[in-house]
Structures are given as structure tokens and as C-alpha cells.
Amino acid sequence: MNINDEDDIAVVFRKTLGHYTVRARGRELDCVLSSLIHKQLIFPTADPTSLRRTVREVREIDHVDPVAIGDRVRYVEAGDGRGMIVEVLPRHTKLSRPAPVPGQRVFEQVIVSNADLVLPVFSLANPTPRWGLLDRYLVSAEAADLPSLIVINKLDLAWKNPGFDEEIEIYRRVGYPVLLVSAITGEGVEELKRALQGRQSVLVGKSGVGKTSLLNAIQPGLGLRVKAVGAGEIGKGRHTTTHLEMFALDFGGALVDTPGMREFGLWDVAGEDLAYLFPEMADHVGQCKFGLSCRHDQEPGCAIRKAVMAGTISPYRYQSYMRLREEL
């Protein structure tokens, strides 16, 4: 079989441990990975035109999983509805985080590739929003050069969080679009559908905020499994969605549902670049006597700190910046 044929390109839309479901020409195939994908073959560079290239070294690829949802892949079909992924095609975007695996080495976990829009989902109550986590999602999306649309779910529980307007206004002032929705009452769902139309989007958020409920509200035919959040004052969500999956939307586009993520570290972000990933801070970088080496912490005359004190940058966003800076 000729694996260079364009016909052998598919899109990964579901994965569970070791198994990848790809969609190609309207068909679904259950695929496994070729062992070659886990490795990078290093050839001698002295004579790259040689027809008899010998492998000099085999390197393990620094990924938890080399294939992500949304990847365009080449595959070899086995003929019984199964296949093997033999190549991952270059990604035009990827949303990553450091893999939460024990051990000294840190690996990249690509949550979704080739997405056009990130939807950080938070709920007004049950669980209460962690705005610091939202800042992490937004910074990760900025680092991946992806636009974000903040979705605040459970609008029907607004009475439990009377101060939410002020918090949301912080993000609107920065320039992020914010959509208030309720998967229960359907409020805001039509607007959300318009935003998703024709794009490949990804839902991110912690457990219990209603990502899957939103997906069910957007496209009722999906009938995905949802659970009520745990009882109690904190109202922590329970992990219901346990795998990543991309759903084709009837009105055009696709949406990736992700399991709840309480931890979300930054991948491939250097400390000195962090301020550029806060859009309201980017214009102030390099504007003080410390130039680009300013850490925006205790440097006298720092333009970012001045802007915070003048009220043009939210002190909460600045605090998020400082907390993320400490991690890098």
C-alpha cells in the first residue's frame, strides 16, 4: 500500500489508552500506533542524498503521547475496520501542558492540535470559579497563538455568586470575549453556536463546570454522560468525562470535549516572555529603565507595576502573572 497517497490521510477524533479512532472519507477506523512514531530516527548528515542511509541513532520522542486529538495522520488500513497510524502530519496549532506524570523528566502533553479556538469554561457556582486557573488557560492559548472565548456556564446559579460581574469585567476590559450561558435553561446557547460555527474548538475547564452539558445543549443528539457535582459547600466536580473526543457539529465545525483539568502548567513558555502573553501588559514591556530584563517584581519605576497602580491593569491579573512567573 502506498502510504504517501493523499487518500490515506485521516483526522484523529477519539483516543483512549493506546487506541485512536480516526475519521477518513466518512469512515471510522480503530487504529494503533506504529512503533516508529514513538521514535525519531537520526541519519548521518554527511551525505543526505545517499540512497542507502543507515540509522545512526534512535531517539525517544519527548511526548506522553505522540498523537493528539485533531491531528492529521497517515494510516495503513488493515482491511477489517482497523488500521495503523504511521505518520503525524505537521500541526498548525497545538495546545499543550506539561504532563502530570511522576518522575524527573517533564514531557509535553498535547491536549489538542489544529484547533482554531479555545473555550475556557467556568461555572458561576458549583464549583466556584478559580480565576487564577482561567489566567493559566488564557496564557496557554496566547502561547499557542490561539484566540479564546471565555464561557461562563450555570447562569441559572448567578444568585449564588453576586460579585461575578466585576470579575468578568476584568477580562472584557482586556479584550477577551465572554459569553454567559446556561446549559439548563438554554440561555446564551444560540450565541455560543454562532461562535463555534465552522471552527475546530476545544473546551477546557475543571471538573463539574458543565463542559459536556454544554455540548449536549449545543447538539442534543449527542446524549453524552453527565453527572451532578458533589454536594457540599465547595461543590467540587466529579470526573465524568475520562477521555478526549472531538465531535463534528451539525451546523459546521467540530468541538473537542476534554476531561476536567485541575492542574494546568505552562508548556514552552519562558519567564521573560510571560508578560507578552498578558495582552494588557504587552505594551508596557521594555518601557522602564530595566528594559527587557525587568521582571516586573520590585524594580523601581517598572511600567507594568505603575499601570497596575494606575488601575489600567487589574491587580488580580498582575497577581496571576507573578504566580506564574514564580513557576517558570
Partner 1 sequence: MRPRLASFGDFRCAHCHALVSSAHLLSGVNNRNHCPYCLWSCHLDLFAAGDRLSACKAPMKPIGLTMKKSRNKYQRERGGELMLVHECVECRTLSINRIAADDDSETVMAVFTESFALGQQVRSRCQGQGIAILDADQAEAVRAQLYGHILERGLLIGV
Binding site for partner 1 (CB under 8 A): 131, 163, 167, 297-298, 304-305, 308-309, 315-316, 318-319
Comparing CA positions, the residue from 263, 265, 271 lying closest to residue 326 is: 271
- CA 326 – CA 323 distance, rounded (Å): 5
Is the CB of 263 or the CB of 297 nearer to partner 1?
Answer: 297
User: CB of 297: closest distance to partner 1 in angstroms?
Assistant: 7
User: CB of 98: closest distance to partner 1 in angstroms?
Assistant: 22
Cis ω before 177 (30° cut-off from 0): no
In angstroms and rounded to an integer, the radius of gyration of the C-alpha atoms of the chain is 22
User: CB of 128: closest distance to partner 1 in angstroms?
Assistant: 9
Say if strands 254-257 and 200-204 run parallel, antiparallel, or are unpaired. Answer: parallel
The sign of the CA dihedral 120, 123, 128, 129 is positive
Comparing CA positions, the residue from 169, 183, 175, 237 lying closest to residue 206 is: 237
Say if strands 9-16 and 72-77 run parallel, antiparallel, or are unpaired. Answer: antiparallel
Phi-psi region of 73 (alpha: psi -120 to 50; beta: other; left: phi over 0): beta
Is the CB of 13 or the CB of 318 nearer to partner 1?
Answer: 318
User: CB of 262: closest distance to partner 1 in angstroms?
Assistant: 15
User: CB of 61: closest distance to partner 1 in angstroms?
Assistant: 38
- CA 92 – CA 71 distance, rounded (Å): 10
Phi, psi of 14 (to 5 degrees): -150, 145
Q: Which three cell numbers stand for residue 244?
A: 478526549
Is the CB of 34 or the CB of 287 nearer to partner 1?
Answer: 287
Is the CB of 21 or the CB of 128 nearer to partner 1?
Answer: 128
The sign of the CA dihedral 278, 283, 287, 292 is positive
Is the CB of 221 or the CB of 311 nearer to partner 1?
Answer: 311
User: CB of 170: closest distance to partner 1 in angstroms?
Assistant: 11
User: CB of 92: closest distance to partner 1 in angstroms?
Assistant: 36
Is the CB of 48 or the CB of 300 nearer to partner 1?
Answer: 300
Contact (Cβ atoms closer than 8 angstroms) between residue 276 and residue 282: yes
Is the CB of 211 or the CB of 305 nearer to partner 1?
Answer: 305
